[in-house]
Structure 1
Amino acid sequence: MDRAGETWRWAAFDALGGREVRDLLKLRADVFVVEQACAFAEIDGRDPAALHLLCEIDGELAGCLRVFAPEASGGAARIGRVATARAFRGAGLGHRLMAEALRLCTERWPASAVDLSAQAHLASFYGRHGFTSVSDAYLEDDIAHVDMRRAASVAA
């Protein structure tokens, strides 16, 4: 998966170094709080229960996401906090992040569906990865969202 100048890493939150935690939280705040002008508790206390995917390009955090095991998220694996730094958008990094997250979910929890809460305008992005809407649109932090699910890769 790595391309020249790229480093991809899965890590538990407690295994991240201080700089990695800072870069992760800064990227998510830049995207979800600053760019989207949305004041909300981005640091929600759930990071220690998740596995984190970090993609660095030339030493800079370019994208990240977190994944929760089914037992930590109510019966289905859950992907969240998918973020790509502005400077790295438009080259397919978001799709590569999602493909890697789904690879991990399929490998670790093949009998589990995968859930996520998508900003409504990104439903087609997630649809390209096999997700379908399972709720009507609702407001979360004044942004329209929709719950989406991808069926388990193997029958339970």
Structure 2
Amino acid sequence: MKTIHFINKKSIVLLLATVFFLSCSSDDSSSTGTNSISSVTSVVGSGTWKITYYFDTDKEETSNFSGYNFTFGSNGVLTATNGTLTQTGTWSVTDSNSNDDDSISDLDFNIAFASPATFLELTDDWEIIERTSTVIKLKDVSGGNGGTDYLTFTKN
């Protein structure tokens, strides 16, 4: 009887270990899941967006972008236009972490403008903290002064 009892415990442990290892997946957050690079780029690549909130370290500066509509082109070109002026930059979404846990916070939303100074402030690799089909909220902790910036795009 003791031998059978020992085998059952050993079998259970082996079965649990097998289930554990098989449940670990290698899904790449850059290609699958609801928070993948392709799902984020698909959402922002559709339609035009406006900045509804921009907080730069110690003060809100949303009004600097009032009247601008942003278009995230499929070729990585970011265009901001207010009907009179057009600013052109680049954008991309990259995987900043190799945890493969499909977490939205593992994705970086990269924005780059060369000028003017107001748009240059948006240049950074932003952490995506929330995304829906109509809102994308971003956060950046500055390496230089340790300040935290927040940027929210809302679909028009």
Tell me if both proteins adopt one fold, taking TM over 0.5 as the criterion.
Answer: no
Relative to its length, the structure with more strand (as a share) is 2
- Higher relative contact order, structure no. (Cα contacts within 8 Å, ≥ 6 residues apart): 2
Relative to its length, the structure with more helix (as a share) is 1
- For normalisation by structure 2, the TM-score amounts to 0.29
Task: Say which one has the larger Rg.
Answer: 2
